Amino acid sequence: MVMTWQKTLPGLGTGAVRLAKRITALSEGKLEVLPYGGGELVPPLEIFDAVSQGTAEMGHSSPYYWLNKHTASAFFCAVPGGLTAQEQNAWVYFAGGQQLWDKLYAPFGLRAFPAGNTGAQMGGWFNREIKTVDDLKGLKMRIPGLAGEVLNLLGGSSQTISPQELFTSMQSGVIDALEWVGPWNDLALGFHKVSKYYYGPGFHEAGPMLELMVNKAAFEQLSPELQRIIKVACAAENDLMAAEYYANNVRAMQVLRNDHSTDVRSFPPEVLKSFFKVSEEVVANVGSKDALAKEIYESYAGFRKASMAMTPVMELGFLQARNQNRSDA
């Protein structure tokens, strides 16, 4: 199993290694999965081709890294203004998403299964205040994929920079802002040492799903029992990683605020409104690329709309009421 991440990267890498161990253990060694971190066997962003071509049988990554293969791949990870982790799971597992994912990856000789989630991400680290949309103009920010397109349309300049270079790029002024994941990973990488402001919420990744890609031919050669073990192990890691991220984000946010006096801020309503408005345009454009993209977009957008109609009287309504009526404020 090759992966985009270093094996020691908290959450992303360690979760992938845990998945490899779980498959091996559940199969009692009949299917031994050996994890290789990004760059050990193949470069981090070339694992799609490696698994597709059979150089490796498995790969752990984020589907939105494969926009150059098909822009609709983003729907199976995260799109700006998209689904939360719970909504993403619901769409993929029970509302037709997995079948569309299979259809999208079939021409590349791949199967893919949900295999982790970081949960809602922060908006990022900034070295300038963001008071209005005009403050985004000329902003050089590390922000990938479709979210980068949103920033560009609002006058900023999205940058693609590897995780290993983010700290020094921010420190030296190569970029003015960056987004990575959230408090747990951001604290570990020390971004609070080279940034003035920590903004949220992120508009770009509300529940980014990770994937275990499997070479389709190799998967079909496995017994039904081993195929089920892979699926069950992925489902377990998908749930565990999301919980692990949430627990560690709570702890890390306390450390950032209490121990490092991090200036944690909320984006102004005007800025968030612009982010979400442009996001809808960018995502709808992806859905117009071809017939399959249209089918995926319509399924995704339809589920999103139905969920948004429900949440005000369920999760969203509860969270708002809980915050408004807290006794420890």
pLDDT tens for the chain, 329 residues: list them: 999 999 999 999 999 999 999 999 999 999 999 999 999 999 999 999 999 999 999 999 999 999 999 999 999 999 999 999 999 999 999 999 999 999 999 999 999 999 999 999 999 999 999 999 999 999 999 998 899 999 999 999 999 887 778 999 999 999 999 999 999 999 999 999 999 999 999 999 999 999 999 999 999 999 999 999 999 999 999 999 999 999 999 999 999 999 999 999 999 999 999 999 999 999 999 999 999 999 999 999 999 999 999 999 999 999 999 999 988 86
Question: Do 280 and 145 fall into the same domain?
Answer: yes
Indicate whether 304 belongs to any domain. no
Q: Are residue 46 and residue 114 in the same domain, yes or no?
A: yes
**Domain residue limits at 45:** 2-120+206-248
**Distance from the Cα of residue 175 to its chain's centroid:** 21
Contact 3/60 with Cβ under 8 angstroms?
yes
Determine how many CB atoms are found less than 10 A away from the CB of residue 94.
Answer: 10
Number of domains in the chain: 2
- Neighbour-count burial for 297-312, b at 16+ CB within 10 Å, e otherwise: bebbbebbeebeeeee
Task: Give the pairing type, strands 2-3 and 58-61.
Answer: parallel
Identify the H or E element spanning 140: strand 140-142
Query: 285 and 148 in one domain?
Result: yes
Say what the pTM is.
Answer: 0.95
